[in-house]
A and B are shown apart, each in its own frame.
Chain A
Amino acid sequence: MNPPQEEPPAAGGDTGRRGDGPRRFARIWCRAVYPETATSMTRDEFEAHLVSLTEQLTDALHARHFSPEAGRHVGEALVDAHCTTAEALPRILGIIDAYLPLYCGAGSGLDAEEIRVRCGRLQHAMASGYAASLQQRTRSEQEALSRATLSAQAAVARALHESETRFRAVFEDAAVGIGIADMDGHIMDTNRAMNRMLGIAEHQVRASNIADWTHPDDGPEVWRMQAELRRGERDHYQVEKPYQRLDGTSLWTNLTVSLLRDADSRPQYMLAMVEDITERRLLNLRLRYQATHDALTELPNRAMFFERLEQAVAPSPGRRRVGLCYLDLDGFKAVNDSLGHAVGDRLLIAVGERLSMCAAEPGQLIARIGGDEFVALYVDPPSRKAVTDLAQALLDELATPVEVDGRELMVRASIGVVEGPTAELNANEILRSADITMYRAKADGGNRYALADPDSDARAISRHHLTHHLPAALKGSEFFIEYQPLIRMEDGSLEGAEALVRWSHPRHGVLGPDRFIPLAEHTGLIVPLGRWVLRESVRQACEWQVQGIGGSRPLRLNVNLSPRQLNHPDLVDETVAVLDEFGLPPGSLCLEITESAMVRADDHELKPLRQLADLGVGIALDDFGTGYSNLASLRRLPVSTLKLDRSFSEGLQQHPADPVDMKIVEGIVSLAHALELSVTVEGVETCNQAERLRELGCDSAQGWYYARPGPPERLPEAV
């Protein structure tokens, strides 16, 4: 305890009855007690408070009739001033005991012993008042705290209830179906949307277990993920899942299941949210169907066929094979052309139906992949024969005429069959091989199937390959022109040259026209190719004229024209434009058309040739003698030259020459001359041959005897 620093009061002091004893006592008291208080009063405020308490004690000490009651009040007041630490009371009482009689006892007229007794009794009362007050305060504070806690809990409960109400509203009125199940799968609660979707009453849903909601179309992953969720290994999954409604219909849903854990993260509940996607799925299925099926025949289309074929050849364990029948109707174009597209379409529908009947086994698929092209895919056929049997079955199915609009139509088809191990094939190769093989079947007369074999494939593949690369070759200037001199028979002079197009193929070397012109003709590329040949050769002819090659008479340029070019509407305009561009006289150009193309052409198709002939362009009938033309028809053709097929000149190679051939050539020449046509012979290889043909009256000739085809700069050598 701190020693008092105040001067003790002088006994019987003269500063009033009590003097400044109480004030000085309070200062000592404050110094000792203030550190043990938790009061918010400042030290000065606290000391002032103690002065007032000291006055009360002093009053009691000096009272005529002593009552310790003041001690109680002071004890209570000290508690109110927060002198409540464990150390506070001993300090309070210690200072009272030691200094109260000393500083406040004087002036009462009581003896020291009485003062001491009274001081002791006041201390007892103070302790009692202090204890009672502290107990009271503690109780009231504890009660206030309990009330506050209860009130806070009530507020929380209220808020929880509100929150619960809000959640309940969300839960009940949500458009998605929501269900909660315990970890055993018992469904505990479902909302209205869920009950509506499942089409059953709430109590029926609640009586069920999620395992009751298995559906035959469930994906294998659904129940695997569900098991993982249940074991707590997964917190969430989302799948498309069907449900069986009580009325037997299927509900398709987008199902999201979440695991709800407790505070210790133990799995407690499973929450399922279900979105009805039945409509959307139907729409998707419809769109998918439309994307994978042919609108006309409703057969799977090219996209779906390829998808299946890709699947079939995708790497997989085990030895697997695949078979494919590639079917193309024979002469379908004729049906379309003669009976119209409506009939053609109905024929295709009928064919589709028939073909479908042949391929009903698992692993078999009939698809329409082009206009009149169908395929039968056979995944894992038991044998190669099974695939050729299928091809034969397809042909047999088409053997009975198809009735369309009361008209019986014969349907024939050519089928290319491919069969082999998937490991060695890819989808594109299979399809190409089948396509090629189909063409072989067609070339062999149609109405049959052919089985792919590597040799014929190889030949055809290069054909296929060339077709494929033609457009790029034309763009990439892989074509060039060689010129074969035409010799005037009467004097052996150079009359002109035939332009012969070549393809300098980067891999296959130089290809002759027989290799690619039919392909170009087939694909239509002949038109731009022909246009290029005409322009380039006309340009070359002009160059020769400028160089003075051929002397006073301008050289004639022969250019081949294909049937397709013949039908091209711009033939006349383009030809005239090219001649104008380079300034070549029309008479210096001769267009060669095969006899077969010419005799097939009707008057309408001959019109452009007639226009060109009227302009002075020469027209030569190429390969004459092979087309079985009606000689009489020569009169109506706008032709100026006959080019005798090499087969005639071949007979004159022998020594002595074949007299029959001699007679024929002689006859043709005289007929031609009678019609005012000149005659050119091809394939002249020997001197004798040349001599005979000259004697027979042929006007001009070309052949190896004179010169082989060569680059333009070699032409002057032939003179």
Chain B
Amino acid sequence: MERPVWAPQGVDLSVPSVSRMYDYYLGGSHNFEVDRAAARRAVDAFPGLPKIMQANRAFMRRTVRFAVSEGITQFLDIGSGIPTFGNVHEVAQAASDEARVVYVDNDPVAVAHSQAVLDGDERTGVVAADFRSPRAVLDSPEARRLLDFDRPVALMLVALLHFIEESDKPAQLIAEYRDRLAPGSMLILSHASTDGGPRTSEQGDAVTDVYRKSGSTFVMRGRAEIEALFDGFELVEPGVVLLPNWRPDTPVDKEDPAAFTGLAGAGRKA
């Protein structure tokens, strides 16, 4: 049966949570054994996952700084997960006094933790909503309070879309967000992929399987599919590339080889 939209999402601690697994990859302790067990299976299937997550984290920080350098001070971070060190609002606020950030997640624990961490921060808000319900996100009181949609916003879908099945029509969903964004807004996106990286597609299938058995959806996508998600945005240099190669701060030759997995890019709405 279809769940009514206003029915609350349950908290089931017997099921691994992708945001708590992500925290575990990053060395955090915001996780339970069930999350750690699933995360360990994922690392077994796909060695180097923590390094990839770290690279993803670093990409996120670079894009926030890039966005601020482009004059964007509003951030809508969907699938923000468990706040840990170096979050978007920290990076953004360090780069600009005007930075305003809205975090969105559908995991009630992640939302509750974010609310605790952000308590007292007037320029940052948390929305309990699902990426697949753009209206619930865009029309939320926090988004309305903190974001001025007549000015550019950076829409951050970092390590999110590989949890969105094709049947949910991610491109269509992005278009719904895009249509609400002012010109000059930016789409910042990273996505699990074995394209161009050292891992095989079999390893990709194996990690997909781990996530699916843990009760999540997981979809690896290829470069062309990921580029297609930028429909209506103009990709900024260097386009869709392996995570560490997106506008690196330091030479990438010292990076862990495992980090060169997963594609990322940023695009600007004309």
Contacts and interface: CB of A to CB of B under 8 A. Distances in A.
B29 A138 contact: yes
B9 A156 contact: yes
A35 B256 contact: yes
Nearest to A43: B250
Contacts of A41: 86
A316 B8 CA distance: 58
Contacts of A158: 8
B109 A152 contact: yes
Interface stretch (A140-148, A369-377, A544-552): A140-148
Interface stretch (B53-61, B225-233, B235-243): B53-61
A149 interface: yes
Contacts of B10: 156
Interface in A27-61: 35, 38-44
B204 interface: no
A238 interface: no
B28 A152 contact: no
B29 A38 contact: no
Contacts of A280: none
Contact of B31 (A35, A40, A145): A145
B27 interface: yes
Nearest to B57: A40
B28 A40 contact: no
Nearest to A35: B256
A82 B128 CA distance: 28
Contact of B29 (A42, A43, A142): A142
B79 interface: no
A84 interface: yes
B8 A40 contact: no
Interface string A316-342: 000000000000000000000000000
Given A38-B54, A151-B116, A163-B7, A44 B250 contact: yes
B85 A82 contact: yes
A84 B27 contact: yes
A40 B29 contact: no
Nearest to A34: B254
A163 B5 CA distance: 11
A42 B111 contact: no
A151 B112 contact: yes
A151 B4 CA distance: 22
A151 B128 CA distance: 13
Contacts of A39: 85
A152 B112 contact: yes
A137 interface: yes
A156 B108 CA distance: 8
A462 interface: no
Contact of A40 (B50, B85, B112): B85
A386 interface: no
B116 A144 contact: yes
Interface string A113-138: 00000000000000000000000011
A85 interface: yes
B108 A141 contact: no
Interface in A58-95: 82, 84-85
Which of B108, B254, B256 has the largest number of chain A CB atoms within 10 A? Answer: B108
A140 to B, nearest CB: 8
A409 interface: no
A76 to B, nearest CB: 15
Contacts of B109: 145, 148-149, 152
B86 A40 contact: yes
Contacts of B86: 40-41
Nearest to A85: B27
Nearest to A157: B8
B2 interface: no
A148 B8 contact: no
B30 interface: yes
B249 interface: yes
B13 interface: yes
A84 B27 CA distance: 7
Nearest to A160: B8
Contacts of A156: 8-11, 108
Contacts of A142: 29-30
Nearest to B35: A145
Contacts of A152: 11, 108-109, 111-112
Nearest to B50: A38
Nearest to B128: A155
B113 interface: yes
B254 A43 contact: yes
A42 B116 CA distance: 27
A311 interface: no
Given A44-B250, A145-B109, A155 B116 contact: no
Contacts of B250: 42-44
A166 B117 CA distance: 32
A159 B8 contact: yes
A290 interface: no
Contacts of B26: 38, 82
Contacts of A654: none
Given A84-B27, A149-B13, A42 B58 contact: yes
A82 B26 CA distance: 9
B11 A153 contact: yes
Contacts of B116: 144, 147-148, 151
Contacts of B7: 159, 163
A32 to B, nearest CB: 12
A137 B29 CA distance: 8
Given A38-B50, A44-B249, A155-B128, 12 more contacts: A38-B27, A40-B57, A42-B250, A85-B50, A141-B29, A141-B30, A148-B112, A151-B115, A152-B108, A152-B109, A159-B8, A166-B6
12 contacts: A40-B61, A82-B26, A82-B85, A84-B27, A144-B113, A145-B32, A148-B30, A152-B108, A152-B112, A153-B108, A159-B6, A160-B8
Q: Which 4 A-B pairs have the closest CB atoms?
A: A40-B86, A159-B8, A148-B113, A38-B27
